[in-house]
Amino acid sequence: MKKQISYIMLVDDNKIDNFFHERVINKYYTSIKVIVKECGAEALQYLSDTTNRKPDFIFLDINMPEMNGWEFLQHYQKLNIPTSNSLIVIMTNPYSQYYQKSRMLPKGIKFQFGEKPITKELLDVFFDDT
């Protein structure tokens, strides 16, 4: 059974991707709030603040400067957010080799791979009708 989704976080250094992905989510899932962060450090700062609502899903770009997606995941694990809280969808470009690197993920992090761009079909895999 799919989980009811209230909050999604987009973590991507590409402003155009964030804009497009947020529009796709808002078009088809109007009740979902989208939190946009343009780097891993910004996302971790948000997530470490206990007063902020934690996202049900995090769509994470792997190729980011300063802190890439793999580094983000290592820091995310140290936040001790209950593993039942978020599923991380690791976003890659088509034909990416990152699928092979899934063994690099810290233990206890729930993840799936997805390809950019985010589409309604990808969202439908994860979300209930809201």
| Helix, coil or strand: residue 92 | strand
Q: What is the pLDDT of residues 56-103, one digit of tens each?
A: 889 999 889 999 888 898 898 888 776 666 788 777 765 555 555 555
Tell me the domain boundaries of the chain.
Answer: 7-126
User: Which CATH number among 1.20.120.80, 3.30.420.40, 3.40.50.10110, 3.40.50.2300 corresponds to the domain 7-126?
Assistant: 3.40.50.2300
Angle 107-127-30 (CA atoms, 0-180°, nearest 5)? Answer: 125
Task: Give the confidence band of 1 by pLDDT, cuts at 50, 70, 90.
Answer: very low
> Which H/E stretch holds residue 34?
strand 33-37
109 dihedral zone (left: phi>0; alpha: psi -120 to 50; beta): beta
Position 2 pLDDT exceeds 80: no
